[in-house]
Amino acid sequence: MNRIPKIRNLIAVVTLCSIAPITTAQDNDSEIEHLLTAVGSSNCVFVRNGTRHTAESAESHLRMKYGKTRRYIDNAEEFITKLASESSWTGKPYTLDCPDKEEQVTKDWLFVQLNEYRADN
């Protein structure tokens, strides 16, 4: 019985499976980086625990949080829901006050940004 074709198929499958997570991780990193940059360049006021912060300060804060918890975040959706939507201290939702718009929860704003990014890429 010739086992070489079976072994080759097994090696091909294992190789493909090991490559897929790397691509996904790179996609996740680019999506999260896009979200962080979008916050920083938004010209919105970021409201965290009742205190207003500049967009640049908000980006910096979210980068700090992400840097500390990155290993627990598997994708952009988790970044939004677990990290960028509410205070880890108080549980209060973050909001964004953008020019010419109603104040909105950051979670909703980030999901719009993510969907637009995905549609363009």
The tens place of each residue's pLDDT in the chain, 121 residues long, gives 566 555 554 444 444 344 344 446 668 899 999 999 999 999 999 999 999 999 999 999 999 999 999 999 999 999 999 999 999 999 999 999 999 999 999 999 999 999 999 999 9
Domain residue extents for the chain: 33-120
Q: Is the dihedral of CA 76, 79, 81, 85 positive or negative?
A: negative
Buried b (16+ CB within 10 A) or exposed e, 105-116: ebbebbbebbee
- What's the CA gap between 84 and 108, in Å, rounded? 11
Could you give the dihedral angle defined by the CA atoms of residues 94, 98, 58 and 104, in that order, rounded to the nearest 10 degrees? 10
- What's the CA gap between 12 and 111, in Å, rounded? 36
Pairing of β 51-53 and β 45-48: antiparallel
